[in-house]
Amino acid sequence: MSGTSERRITDLPTLIEALAPEDRAAAGRLFDVVATTGRLDPPEAMRAWIERSFGSVEAVTEQRIVKVTNRATLEGSLFNGLRASRPLDTGVSVDLEREIEATIGDPFCHPENGTPADVFGRLRGEHSITASNVAKYDGFHGVVIFDDHNPLHLTPEKVSDYISVGLEWCHKVLAADPEARYPFLMWNCLWRAGGSIIHGHAQVTVTRGTHYPKVERLRRAAASYRVESGSDYFDDLYRVHDSLGLGIPAEGDVRAFASLVPIKEKELVVIGDSPRDGALHRTVGALLRDYVQALGVRAFNVAFYMPPLVPVDEDWSDFPTVVHLVDRGSPANRTSDIGAMELYAASVVASDPFRVADLLRRGSPG
């Protein structure tokens, strides 16, 4: 799609109205969009500060806000044109590089001696090795330790290796415990994203009984959507995003887009048929590279929603592999990006998904 750079999230109601009838119908089935205007009356003494901070007084006296709700999953985000119009920070922090280098020599730099092994031993990839997590989230909780100390020195090839090794670890777990059938793969990059160790690492868990509640909730939402609308939830989800100009190029049959209901800044969703699809792994790796190089992201989370490793009682037949990528903000910022709104109401998001998709379509400069 061309000419999408002028599109803005605050124009979403108009953009949806302009869609072809079938795309517009899918958008209506899936999303509830409400636009509103916030108004205020600043005292004379504040005007100079407002002009410096926001460009003009008019920019803040009338603020357009759009609330987007996914009707199927009840995920929702609030976008404010004023916040969304701020420039995206793509600068590189030299201090961060120094801080990362200062921790070279940590236990993950020599994992064989610095970390415990799992009861079934370690798996070795081309760019990574596994360890058993010391303080576990769940009965099976492993770490994929990257050979690279610096977590931002990533390439699509290295990321593919981390993911493959993580999935292989899940299957080792299943062999050790046939009841451990529900896998989860995640990556918390740097402290703002919940990573306590700087050295590059992803984490894997396999749980018993039922899947983690947020994964199971998505499975149930997609199943209900199929019953109520007769359409596939994931097909409609991609169709709406792509028709609006939010699709991002991906390898093979993989589908990627900048989300209309991001959980936080610049959230991307990548959908693949199988967790073991190499094209999916490389697409996630390429998007993370562009996240870092083109969008200036430093702290991020990645999460893989995957069906169980073997068939179970509930129906996962229509459930693809869904990968979420989200920016957690500048490591220099002391304010948490998650507050009471995000925990208990809806996500408040500053980055415009149309700008995120546009920058990623242009690709990495380096």
Helix (H) or strand (E) holding 96: helix 94-102
- The region of 111-119, 130-138, 148-156, 340-348 touching Zn ion under the rule CB under 5 A is 148-156
Q: Is 199 near Zn ion (CB under 5 A)?
A: yes
- The region of 73-81, 106-114, 132-140, 172-180 touching Zn ion under the rule CB under 5 A is 106-114
The residue with its CB nearest to Zn ion is 199
Say if residues 240 and 23 touch (Cβ distance below 8 Å): yes
Q: Is 110 near Zn ion (CB under 5 A)?
A: no
- Contact pattern from residue 54 through residue 93 relative to Zn ion, giving x for each residue in contact according to CB under 5 A and a dash for the rest: ----------------------------------------
- The region of 36-44, 173-181, 197-205, 298-306 touching Zn ion under the rule CB under 5 A is 197-205
Binder among 106, 179, 228, 315 for Zn ion (CB under 5 A): 106
- The region of 60-68, 73-81, 108-116, 280-288 touching Zn ion under the rule CB under 5 A is 108-116
**Nearer residue to Zn ion within complex by CB, 103 or 293:** 103
* Least distance (Å) between residue 104 CB and Zn ion: 6
At residue 199's C-alpha, the angle toward residues 197 and 201, to 5°, is 85
* Least distance (Å) between residue 215 CB and Zn ion: 31
Binder among 109, 134, 175, 176 for Zn ion (CB under 5 A): 109
**Nearer residue to Zn ion within complex by CB, 100 or 173:** 100
* Least distance (Å) between residue 346 CB and Zn ion: 38
The Cα 73–Cα 224 span in angstroms is: 10
Q: Which amino acid is at 149?
A: H
The Cα 166–Cα 110 span in angstroms is: 19
Question: How many residues in the shown chain lie near Zn ion by CB under 5 A?
Answer: 5
Q: Is 108 near Zn ion (CB under 5 A)?
A: yes
- The region of 98-106, 138-146, 201-209, 255-263 touching Zn ion under the rule CB under 5 A is 98-106
* Least distance (Å) between residue 281 CB and Zn ion: 23
**Nearer residue to Zn ion within complex by CB, 106 or 315:** 106
**Nearer residue to Zn ion within complex by CB, 10 or 188:** 188
The Cα 204–Cα 130 span in angstroms is: 10
Binder among 122, 127, 141, 149 for Zn ion (CB under 5 A): 149
**Nearer residue to Zn ion within complex by CB, 199 or 281:** 199
- With tokens 């990548």, the residue in question is 270
Number of C-beta neighbours around residue 313 at 10 A = 7
The Cα 246–Cα 265 span in angstroms is: 15
**Nearer residue to Zn ion within complex by CB, 69 or 115:** 115
Give the CA-trace dihedral at 193, 338, 54, 332, to 10 degrees: -30
Locate all alpha helices (DSSP H) within 213-315, ordered by sequence.
213-229, 233-244, 278-293
Locate all alpha helices (DSSP H) within 230-352, ordered by sequence.
233-244, 278-293, 340-344
Q: Is 201 near Zn ion (CB under 5 A)?
A: no
- The region of 69-77, 147-155, 261-269, 317-325 touching Zn ion under the rule CB under 5 A is 147-155
The Cα 51–Cα 54 span in angstroms is: 5
Spatial neighbors of 200 by CB under 8 A, at least 6 apart, are 108, 145, 146, 148, 149, 150, 151, 153, 154, 189
Say if residues 302 and 348 touch (Cβ distance below 8 Å): no
Collapsing DSSP states into helix, strand and coil, what is residue 226?
helix
**Nearer residue to Zn ion within complex by CB, 32 or 106:** 106
Number of C-beta neighbours around residue 292 at 10 A = 20
Half-sphere exposure of 35 (CA within 13 A, CB side): 13
Say if residues 146 and 200 touch (Cβ distance below 8 Å): yes
- The region of 21-29, 149-157, 215-223, 265-273 touching Zn ion under the rule CB under 5 A is 149-157
* Least distance (Å) between residue 147 CB and Zn ion: 10
Which positions touch Zn ion (CB under 5 A)?
A: 106, 108-109, 149, 199
